[in-house]
Amino acid sequence: MKRSIERLVAQMTLEEKAGMCSGGDFWHLKGVERLGIPAVMVSDGPHGLRKQEQEGDHLGVNDSIRAVCFPTACATAASFDTGLLETLGRVLGAECRAQGVGVLLGPALNIKRSPLCGRNFEYFSEDPYLAGQLAAAQIKGIQSQGVGASPKHFAANNQEYHRLTCSAQIDPRTLREIYLAPFEAAVKAARPWTVMCSYNKINGEQVSESKALLTDILRGEWGFDGYVMSDWGAVNDRVKGLCAGLDLEMPASGGSTDRQIAAAVREGRLPEAVLDRAVGRILDVIFRYADGQGAAEFDLQAHHELAVRMARECAVLLKNEGGVLPLGQRTRVAFVGEFAQKPRFQGGGSSHINAFRAESAWEAARGRYEVQYARGFSAGGDEADEALMREAVELAAGCGAAVVFAGLPDSFECEGYDRSHMRLPGCQNELIRRVAAVQPNTVVVLHNGSPVELPWADEVPAILELYLAGQGAGRAAVELLFGEANPCGKLAETFPLRVQDNPSYLNFPGNGDTVEYREGVFVGYRYYDKKEAPVRFAFGHGLSYTSFAYSGLRADKTAVRDDEPVTVRLEVTNTGARAGKEIVQLYVADCTGAEVRPEKELKGFVKLELEPGETKTAEFVLDRRSFAWYDPQRGSWTCASGRYGLLAGASSRDIRQRVEIELTCTDPKPYVVDANSRYDDLLAQPALREFMLRLLEKEYPPAPPAESGAARAAITPEMQQRMDREAPLRSLRSFKGYTQEQLDGLIARLNAMLR
C-alpha cells in the first residue's frame, strides 16, 4: 500500500497536491477523479452521527440526517466501562459505513479543568487516565468498522471563551501529566487514523502551527501514523502549519490556502517533500476507508435500544437515604418538572444530533406505574411560574413519592461559550425545596452536562445524576427509579460545593488573551484531596441498590523494580440482596517525597458484575508509568525509589483497602554535587553519608550551652543543627574560612565518591 501511495503522489500535479491539503467543502476532502481518489466525507461525532446532506455548518444550525443520539461523553465516562465505549464506537462506525462517512470526528477528550467549560458535556473527565482509557476504547470500536476516528481537540482546549485565539499558559509537567496524557494513551493504544488539532494557542504558539506537538510528540514520541486535521477554522498560517505537521485544513478554504502552499513550494519556501508527506498521509487514510469493508446498513430501532441500555449503565446514584429508591410499586408517584416530558439529553453545537426519537420518563412510566405529572417549571428558562409551582407542590404532597426532573436549560451550556455560574435555574432550586418540604420521599433526577451546585442536597433523600444521557434517557431513568435496573455509574469528576472551590477558579477563563493554568497538576480531585477540602460528591462516587465488600488487597511483589509490571488483586463481594455492578478504583500514592505530587492518582479501574453473595477478583496491572511523574529537566517520565501506596477505593474518598510496595528506580536521576548542594541532601546520598557526618562534626561541632538563659531560649543546639543542615556547601567559604580552591576540591571529591 505504501508504495502505491507514493506512486500516486508522484502522479499528482503541484496544484492537486496542495489542493488535497484542504477540504473540498464543509465536510468532504477533495478527490482527484483522474487518479481514482475519492472525495471522502467526515462528520461529527462524538456520540452520534451528524451527517449534513445539504448546506454544512459546524455549529449544528442546519439539519442533519435523522440518527441515534447516544449518551454524551459526560455520561459515558461515568460508566467507567471500556467495553461499553467500544460498543458505542462500533455502532457509530457501522452508522458511518452505512452512510458513507469515512471519519467520525471524535471522541473529544479534553480535560475538565473547570466545571464552567461550556463543552464539558462532550468531554470525559477531570482525570487523564480515565479519559485516555475510555477514548481509546471508543476509537477501537469506531475503527473496527473500517472508519477512522479523530480524537479531538489536541490539545488543551479546556474552555470555550476566546477558544480560537486564547493561549493556555501551561508548565511542561502539567501539560504532559494532565492535558496530553489522555491523547498519549489513546494514540498509543488505539492508533487513530486521524487527530484533530485544537483552535487555541499553548504558551503563545498556535497549536495548528506547533511542530513540537503535531510532529515531535504526536508522531515522534507516540508513533501516530495518520493525518492531522485542523479543527474547523483553526488554521492561522497555512504554510507554517503544514511544516509543523498539520496535514489537512478543514473546512474548504476557497482555494486560497492551496494557492499559498503551491506558491511556497514554487518560491522554495516550502520543500516539496513536506507537501508530499502530508498528501501521502491523507491518501493513506482515504484508502484505508475506501478499500475497507463494513456494515452497509444499520437498524435505527436496535440502536435506540442500545442508547437506552447505555443511559442506564451511565447514571450515577449520588444519594439514597432511607431506601427511598427504588420506588418499586409504591402507590402514587408525582413526576414534577418539564424535563419529565422533555428530557434534556444532549448539548448544543457541533455534536447536536437530529435524534430520530426521544423517550421521556413520562412516556416510559405512564401506563406501567401509577404516575402523575405536573410541569412545575419551564425546561427552557430561569423564571419561576407561581401557578405551575403551586400545582406541582400540591401534587407532590398528595402522592407517596415525588420525582423532580431538574436540569440545565439548553442555553446554559453549549459549545462556543462557557457557563457564567454553576447554578441550576433559581425556579428549579425553589421548586425542589418546596416539594421536599411537603414530601419526605423526594427524589431529584438531574439532566446536566457538568456539575451544578446542589444547595438543597441535604433536604432531599435521593439524587440520581443522569447527565446528558442521549435519546434513551427517559426510559433509563424510569427503569432505575422503579428498580428494574440497578444504578452502576460513578462520577468521572468532582462535584464541588461551590464553583469558587474549584482549583482553576482564580484563573478561569483568563484575561481574554491568555489563561494561566496556575493550579498545575492539581486538577479536580488531585486538588481537593491535597487540600482535604470538603466537596459535595467526590470523584469516583456512585451508589447502588446493593452493597459491596472489598477484601484481600495484595500486590504480587512487595519489592519491585520499575521495569517490571506489578499485578494487584483484591476480592469484591456483593453483600446485598440484588445483582449489581461495582466500579473498583485503584489509586497510587507516592510516599517517597521526591516531588510535589497529588495525594493519589487513579491508575486502574474495573467494573465487576456480581450476583448477590458472589465474589470476584479485581485485577490491575501497574507499570512504570503508574508511578511516574514528568520531569521537564530530564524531558522524560521519571520515578523515585521508595514507598508507594496502592489504594483500592469505591471512590476517591472511600478508600477501602491499602497496601504498600517498595519500588526501585532503575534509572535514577544522577545526583551531581555543586556549591549549592545542601547538607541535608548530601546526607541523604548513601555513598556520601559517612563522609558528610564526619565533615559536619568537624565544621559544625555542637555549640556549648549558651551562658545566659535568654541566649539558651533563643536557640537550642537542636535548632542550631537543623539550621546548619539547611545550608549549602558554599557556606563553608562564607563561615568556615574555606578558600575557593578548598571548596572546589571538596566538591570534586564528593562527585568522585558518587561515581
Positions annotated as catalytic residues are: 231
Binding pattern for the stretch 371-390 against ligand BGC, x by CB under 6 A and - elsewhere:
--------------------
- State the CB neighbour count (10 A cutoff) for residue 524: 30
45 is a contact residue toward ligand BGC (CB under 6 A): yes
Give the 3-state DSSP-derived string for 454-482, with helices as H, strands as E and coil as C. Answer: CCCHHHCCEEEECCCCCCCHHHHHHHHHC
Residue nearer to ligand BGC on the CB measure, 110 or 442: 110
Q: Among 44, 95, 493, 601, which residue sits at the site for ligand BGC (rule: CB under 6 A)? A: 44
In this structure, are residues 374 and 431 in contact, taking their beta carbons and an 8 Å threshold? no
Query: Total residues contacting ligand BGC (rule CB under 6 A)?
Result: 8
Q: Are strands 601-610 and 580-590 parallel, antiparallel or unpaired?
A: antiparallel
Q: Among 350, 585, 626, 731, which residue sits at the site for ligand BGC (rule: CB under 6 A)? A: 350
Phi-psi region of 672 (alpha: psi -120 to 50; beta: other; left: phi over 0): beta
Residue nearer to ligand BGC on the CB measure, 73 or 325: 73
Beta bridge partners of 205: 202
Residue nearer to ligand BGC on the CB measure, 70 or 232: 232
Residue nearer to ligand BGC on the CB measure, 163 or 342: 163
Residues 232-251 that bind ligand BGC (CB under 6 A): 232
158 is a contact residue toward ligand BGC (CB under 6 A): no
Phi-psi region of 467 (alpha: psi -120 to 50; beta: other; left: phi over 0): left
162 is a contact residue toward ligand BGC (CB under 6 A): no
Taking the complex as a whole, the smallest distance from the CB of residue 350 to ligand BGC amounts, in Å, to: 3
Taking the complex as a whole, the smallest distance from the CB of residue 105 to ligand BGC amounts, in Å, to: 4
Helix (H), strand (E) at residue 93: helix 82-99
Residue nearer to ligand BGC on the CB measure, 42 or 264: 42
**What is the distance in angstroms between the CA of the first residue and the CA of the last residue of the chain?**
52
Residue nearer to ligand BGC on the CB measure, 43 or 82: 43
Residue nearer to ligand BGC on the CB measure, 250 or 464: 250
Residue nearer to ligand BGC on the CB measure, 149 or 327: 149
Taking the complex as a whole, the smallest distance from the CB of residue 108 to ligand BGC amounts, in Å, to: 6
Tell the burial category of 385 from Cβ atoms under 10 Å away from its Cβ (0-12, 13-18, 19+): middle
Helix (H), strand (E) at residue 660: strand 654-664
In this structure, are residues 117 and 160 in contact, taking their beta carbons and an 8 Å threshold? yes
Residue nearer to ligand BGC on the CB measure, 103 or 436: 103
Ramachandran angles phi, psi of 580, nearest 5°:
-165, 175
DSSP state of 132: H
Amino acid, res. 544? S
Taking the complex as a whole, the smallest distance from the CB of residue 357 to ligand BGC amounts, in Å, to: 23
Q: Interior CA angle at 185 toward 180 and 188, to 5°?
A: 115
222 is a contact residue toward ligand BGC (CB under 6 A): no
Residue nearer to ligand BGC on the CB measure, 135 or 650: 135
Taking the complex as a whole, the smallest distance from the CB of residue 494 to ligand BGC amounts, in Å, to: 25
Residues 50-79 that bind ligand BGC (CB under 6 A): 58
Residue nearer to ligand BGC on the CB measure, 152 or 490: 152
160 is a contact residue toward ligand BGC (CB under 6 A): no
In this structure, are residues 458 and 321 in contact, taking their beta carbons and an 8 Å threshold? no
Ramachandran angles phi, psi of 211, nearest 5°:
-65, -35
Closest CA to 178 of 524, 419, 514, 418: 524
426-438 and 386-398 helices cross at what angle (nearest 10)?
A: 30
Interacting residues of 420 by C-beta distance below 8 A, sequence separation 6+: 116
Q: Greatest CA span in the chain, whole angstroms? A: 100
Q: For residues 79 and 396, give the distance between their C-alpha atoms in angstroms, rounded to a whole number.
A: 31
In this structure, are residues 751 and 673 in contact, taking their beta carbons and an 8 Å threshold? yes
For the chain, helix, strand, coil in percent to 5 are 35, 20, 45
Q: Among 231, 313, 599, 601, which residue sits at the site for ligand BGC (rule: CB under 6 A)? A: 231
Taking the complex as a whole, the smallest distance from the CB of residue 152 to ligand BGC amounts, in Å, to: 5
CA 99 to chain centre: 29
Taking the complex as a whole, the smallest distance from the CB of residue 131 to ligand BGC amounts, in Å, to: 16
Taking the complex as a whole, the smallest distance from the CB of residue 510 to ligand BGC amounts, in Å, to: 19
434 is a contact residue toward ligand BGC (CB under 6 A): no
Q: For residues 20 and 110, give the distance between their C-alpha atoms in angstroms, rounded to a whole number.
A: 28
105 is a contact residue toward ligand BGC (CB under 6 A): yes
- State the CB neighbour count (10 A cutoff) for residue 745: 12
Taking the complex as a whole, the smallest distance from the CB of residue 417 to ligand BGC amounts, in Å, to: 12
Taking the complex as a whole, the smallest distance from the CB of residue 102 to ligand BGC amounts, in Å, to: 14
607: which 3 cell numbers? 467494573
Taking the complex as a whole, the smallest distance from the CB of residue 46 to ligand BGC amounts, in Å, to: 8
Please list, residue by residue across 719-741, b when 16 or more beta carbons sit within 10 angstroms of its beta carbon and e when fewer do.
eeeeebbeebbbbbeeeeebeee
* Residue matched to cell numbers 477558544: 163
Q: Strand, coil or helix: what is 542?
A: coil
In this structure, are residues 457 and 321 in contact, taking their beta carbons and an 8 Å threshold? no
Binding pattern for the stretch 307-346 against ligand BGC, x by CB under 6 A and - elsewhere:
----------------------------------------
Phi-psi region of 16 (alpha: psi -120 to 50; beta: other; left: phi over 0): alpha
Taking the complex as a whole, the smallest distance from the CB of residue 184 to ligand BGC amounts, in Å, to: 20
Taking the complex as a whole, the smallest distance from the CB of residue 214 to ligand BGC amounts, in Å, to: 17
Residue nearer to ligand BGC on the CB measure, 232 or 644: 232
Q: Among 30, 152, 352, 475, which residue sits at the site for ligand BGC (rule: CB under 6 A)? A: 152
Residues 274-293 that bind ligand BGC (CB under 6 A): none
90: which 3 cell numbers? 462500533
CA-based torsion, 322, 325, 330, 331: positive or negative? positive
Phi-psi region of 100 (alpha: psi -120 to 50; beta: other; left: phi over 0): left
Closest CA to 139 of 203, 74, 101, 87: 87
Residue nearer to ligand BGC on the CB measure, 116 or 270: 116
- State the CB neighbour count (10 A cutoff) for residue 325: 25
Residue numbers at the binding site for ligand BGC (CB under 6 A): 44-45, 58, 105, 152, 231-232, 350
